[in-house]
Amino acid sequence: MELTVYNINGEKTSRTVELNDAVFGIEPNDHAIYLDSKQYLANQRQGTHKAKERGEVAGSTKKIKRQKGTGTARSGDIKNPLYRGGGRVFGPRPRNYSFKLNKKLKRLARCSALAYKVREENLIVVEDFTFEDHKTKNFVNVMNNMGLVNDKALFVMPESNENLYLASRNIPNVDVINAQNLNTYELLRASKLMVFESSIKKIEEICS
**How far from the centroid of its chain's Cα atoms is residue 49's Cα?**
21
* pLDDT tens sequence across 131-166: 888 899 998 999 998 888 888 999 999 888 889 999
pLDDT digits (tens, 9 = 90+) for 186-197: 999 999 999 999
pLDDT number for residue 27:
93
pLDDT-derived band of residue 130, with 50, 70 and 90 as boundaries?
confident
CATH 3.40.1370.10 describes domain 2-28+100-207: yes
Mean pLDDT of the 170-195 span: 91
The bridge status of strand 123-126 relative to strand 153-157 is unpaired
For residue 72, give every residue at least 6 positions away whose Cβ sits within 8 Å of its Cβ, in sequence order, or none: none
Q: Indicate the domain borders of the chain.
A: 2-28+100-207, 46-96
Q: Please name the helix (run of DSSP H) or strand (run of DSSP E) that holds residue 144, with its range, or none.
A: helix 136-146
Is it the case that residue 15 has pLDDT exceeding 90? no
H helix and E strand count, the chain:
7, 6
Q: Tell me the pTM.
A: 0.82
Q: Which residues pair with 126 in a beta bridge?
A: 6, 196
Task: Name the nearest CA neighbour of 38 among 94, 97, 81, 107.
Answer: 97
Length reported for the chain:
208
